[in-house]
Structure 1
């Protein structure tokens, strides 16, 4: 991971971090210079001292491959939406649920 400031969104057995950046886009137009800020959030899951970049539901489930079916079922039941506007909250809920699942696994054995 690149050095910088990260927001710690979930601080459990599994951690979720967010890297927030803003870029300015400038364009010359007949009216003069126009610009806008482009906001970009990148999310990372820290598990077993490794960082995994995640961007959508598929990449998240790839990280949690051992409990993929349970997480898919939970995602459908909770109506989690991984589109741009709801990605962060859905990721947080899914990782918190994964932590509860992984806490129950050692008790069953």
Structure 2
């Protein structure tokens, strides 16, 4: 261990011992956001590049024969986001989300891209979206696979969006070009069970007791479920929960 890191760890220990015991016990976990914020900012500032966050594999850009972007929202530049990694919350982290490989990417310096270990990321927040990593013990009986899911509604029912891209290719004048095709899948979690949402009829089947009211709301709001599925599902799930509380 080098002298700089040793000194940093000593500073952290001094900082923690100045806090009362109850506060110190809660600072390393994310179940107390107000307590976490102070210590985690100190942790991030003190450790910087030696933090546990920076321990993923190197990430390399796609070859020039691949057209388009593999990333969420087609963004090829880093955006500032938040990551919950091994129960530590890291703020103001440069992030990109490769939805083709389902990898969360960050960078050290200007050019050293690396992918975080997905299983160690419980949540990340990027461009007003909240992604959660869902672990699946038995993929033979589950409708979902392990990976990152966009949590668009977090209530009695949870609605997740799986945002992915597939790679296809074309051949013109003996030149092969690869490109990405986006795909979106929807899931609902109720009573700790995941189910697939295939459309409006499928979605409303989970709320049969209030189906007329929900259909009326869609009509009043002039929302077409097929064209605006995210907006429609969030609206209907929220309204259903307000009717049944």
Q: Give the shorter-chain TM-score range.
A: 0.7 to 0.9
State the partner residue of 1:97.
Answer: 239
Displacement of 1:31: 5.5
Mapped pair 1:81 → 2:229: no
Mapped pair 1:33 → 2:173: no
Secondary structure of 1:17 counterpart: strand
Structure that is richer in helix per residue: 1
Q: C-alpha distance in 2, partners of 1:7/1:40?
A: 13
State the partner residue of 1:55.
Answer: 198
Displacement of 1:65: 1.3
Secondary structure of 1:89 counterpart: helix
Deviation sequence 1:51-91 (CA, Å, 0-9, x none): 2211311111112112111111111111121224x211111
State the partner residue of 1:106.
Answer: none
| Larger deviation, residues 26-35 vs 8-17 | 26-35
Q: 1:52·1:63 contact (CA, 8 Å) conserved in 2? A: no
Gaps of 5+ in 2: 1-143
Q: C-alpha distance in 2, partners of 1:68/1:80?
A: 16
Secondary structure of 1:10 counterpart: strand
Larger Rg: 2
State the partner residue of 2:209.
Answer: 66
Secondary structure of 1:75 counterpart: helix
Q: TM-score if structure 2 supplies the norm length?
A: 0.39
Q: C-alpha distance in 1, partners of 2:214/2:180?
A: 35
Secondary structure of 1:28 counterpart: strand
How many pairs does the alignment contain?
102
- The higher relative CO (CA closer than 8 Å, separation ≥ 6) is in 1
State the partner residue of 2:112.
Answer: none
Q: C-alpha distance in 2, partners of 1:92/1:48?
A: 18
Q: TM-score if structure 1 supplies the norm length?
A: 0.84
Gaps of 5+ in 1: 104-109
